[in-house]
Structure formats: structure tokens, C-alpha cells
Amino acid sequence: MADPSPAVRRLADWDTDRLESLADEYDTPLYVIDLDRVKANYRRFSAAFPDARVMYAAKAHTGRAVLEAVLEAGGTIECAAWGELKRSIDAGAGPNTLQYTAVNPPAHDLDYATDLGAENPGLTVTIGATDTLERLAERGYDGRIAIRINPGIGTGHHEKVATGADAKFGIPYEEVPEVAERVRAEFDLVGLHAHAGSGVLTDGLAEHCRAISRVGEMARRVGDLEFVDVGGGYGVPYREDEPPLDLERTAEMVRDAVGEIDAQLKLEPGRYVVADAGLILSTVNTIKEAPDTTVVGIDASLATLIRPAMFGSYHPMVNVTAPERDHHPVTVGGPVCTSADVFAHDRPVARLERGDTLAIGMAGSYGYELASQFHSQPRPAEVALEAGEDRIVRRRESLEDVTRVEQ
């Protein structure tokens, strides 16, 4: 049966009355994650690649409820750190199904992965440096290895996520065949991996697929592989006038770019699965008329959502309390003492008054993951929506939580 859910869930599609009641019941700032939408997004993406193995990239949102939803939808999980491995297992993932992509891994990461692999030989470790091979061998690991390729082509919504052209990530392209021989002599070489960048929409697919084609080419050179993993990076439209990713066209272009390979295709969507499933609710506390703008102060900050400060990212906004009011351009900022703590400049929003609830959309991916206690602010609570019900899945931190680890 066809998936009835829309290709993208806009902020305007959320029930504002329900959001207002959530803000009243659970206080703000508040993260809201719709688990039904998470499952629908994962299934839609998987349906576009019926012959591939689709692994959710945990780093987009590692909340246990989200990981459990992905597993319920039939997914497996790709992890980039030891904490993600543990959280995935705690959520019910079989350790033998996990893939750990090591990027300059600290010692404790490799210790944990080595111990896990000793008891679960199906665990796959992806390496992006020959140093990692040496460090794994020192720990007695001789199991499944995938080689991360640096294709020399970066794509995505911002230079800070264009990993395919960043020397930090992966083995230089022409060195891969030699490294593959070394891996086969000491480990079990099972795959090749690459990730070109993040937040790719339909108009960026051509360059994205140019990077993927290099992975397919290298797979044919290396030969005898179990899988070829072309990573994730598939985006969602944050702006209201941007069209959603054309999944059918994406699947066709990716398959054509990879070409004929005698191996299973793997993909790692993260943002696509969770971005439009999450938002932030915040309360307006200050209205200030300045010479060039109206400043709206809210109780969310860059400690709540750092993407606008870090990437200059656009996040849609809706006045949940009174969406029917006339729209006026405002500058929306938080309580952190830096000019970077601004969510929008001159953004038309239904007129805001002190005490109103403001929703900030497309916050499901890299939102709570990048939240911090900057300014000694406790991190917010998170509420999950599922099957018409809501529940707390992450409690609000207290001031005591902020200082609990100090001594």
C-alpha cells in the first residue's frame, strides 16, 4: 500500500492547538518529536531503495524513542561514536547489525568497539585512516572492516558539512586499492563507504552523484565486496518555498551513479528521517522596539538550537498562540549574551505578544543533538507524539543537573 504521508511536513501542517496545549502542560523551551512521522519517513525512503539496506544515521537524533521508532520501522543503525553504539543497543538494536564509522576515534571508542566486536562478529567498523587499522590490530581486532573513501567531491547545504572534499574524512581515493590489500591481509574487508555531504536536495543531486560514481568505480576496482555504502546527506526543504526531495529521481540517479556492482548497496539517511518530525516550542518574554527592527525575545537560545548560529540555517517559525494575526517582520533572539543568539532577522511572523508560544520548525535533526548548557542553562525536555498520545521521553534538566558532575 502506498505511503499516504506527504513528502515533507511543513511547520504549517502541525496542529497549533495541540502545540499550545503541549507548551502549557510541559513548559518551554520544549522539543517535540513525532515518532509516527519518523517511521513514515524511514519507510518512504526505504521503499525508494527496495534492494538496498537503509541504515539510519544515529547522529541526527540519538534519542532512545527515535532509535526505537526506526527499529520498529524495520531499520538498522549506523553509528559514529561509542555512545551511539551503546544507545542503539539499549534501544534494542542487535550489535551484529550495527556499523560503526570511526572518524579519528578516541581510545575509549576503539576499546568499546573492539570489545563489542569480540562478542558480536557481525559488527562492522568503517575506517578512514590507516592509523585506525594499526590501533585496532593492537587491540586484537581482526573482524569486519569497511574502508571510507575520500572521493574529493563535497556536497551539501554548507561548507562545514561537505565532508567528501575534506581531508579529515576517509582514505585518499588513489590509495584505496593498496589499503584494501592490507585490510584483506589482516582483517575481513567487507565494504567501501563514502559520504559526500549533507542536506542535498534535488537540484544538488548531480554533484552528489558525481561523488557516488567514484565510489562505484572504486568498488569495481577493488572487487569482492559484501556492500558499497554511499552514505546519506539526503535533505529536506527547510524553507517554505523549497520543493521536497524527489525520491524517485534520487533513487534512479543514485543507482545509475553507482553502476553495476556485485555487492549490496547501503545508504545512511539521518536528516531525511527526523528533520521534519521535530520542532521546538518557546515562549515570548520580551518585545522591544528598536530603531531598525522589532526584537522578539524568547526563552529558547543557541544552547537550545545552535544551527542558525553555526550554519546560518533557516528554520521556519509560527506563532502558535495566534497564527491568524497580521504578519510583521521581527528579529527573534534568545537570552544568551552574544549576537550569534538570533534565530531570524526581519522574519514576517503573525504579531507576537509577551506570553505567546512560538514554534521553530525542522528541528528534529541536529537539534537536541547539539544542545548544550551554555550560560549554565538546563537543557529542555522532549515530548514524543505517537498514535495520538504524548509522553515525556527526555525530562527537563534542573539547575542541580547542570552542576551535578562538578566536584
CA dist 141 and 118 (Å) reads 7
Q: Are 170 and 182 in contact (CB under 8 A)?
A: no
d(CA 14, CA 26): 18
- Cell numbers at residue 266, please? 547501503
Q: Is 337 a catalytic residue?
A: yes
- Annotated binding residue at 117? no
With beta carbons less than 8 A apart as the criterion, state whether 33 and 277 touch. yes
CB atoms within 10 A of CB 394: 17
List 107, 337, 387, 405, catalytic entry: 337
Instruction: Transcribe 331-395 into DSSP letters.
Output: EEE-SSSSTT-EEEEEEEEE---TT-EEEE-S-SSSSGGG---GGGPPPPEEEEEETTEEEEEEP
**Is 364 marked as binding a ligand?**
no
Is 43 one of the annotated binding-site residues? no
Write the CA distances from 80 to 108, 126, 165, 393, integer angstroms.
13, 9, 19, 23
Residue 270, annotated ligand binder? Answer: yes
* Residue of 204, 277, 195, 212 lying closest to 235 (CA atoms): 204
Q: Is 20 exposed, middle or buried (0-12, 13-18, 19+ CB in 10 A)?
A: middle
- Rounded CA-CA distance 234/128 in Å is 21
234 appears as a binding residue in the annotation = no
Residue 404 in marked binding region: no
Indicate the Cα dihedral angle 299, 303, 309, 312, nearest 10°.
Answer: -80
Going by C-alpha positions, the residue among 380, 388, 400 that lies closest to residue 32 is: 380
> Is 307 marked as a binding-site residue?
yes
Distance between CA atoms of residues 248 and 395, nearest Å = 39
CA 310, CA 299: separation in Å to the nearest integer? 19
- Binding site membership for substrate: which residues? 271, 307, 366
- Just list the catalytic residues: 337
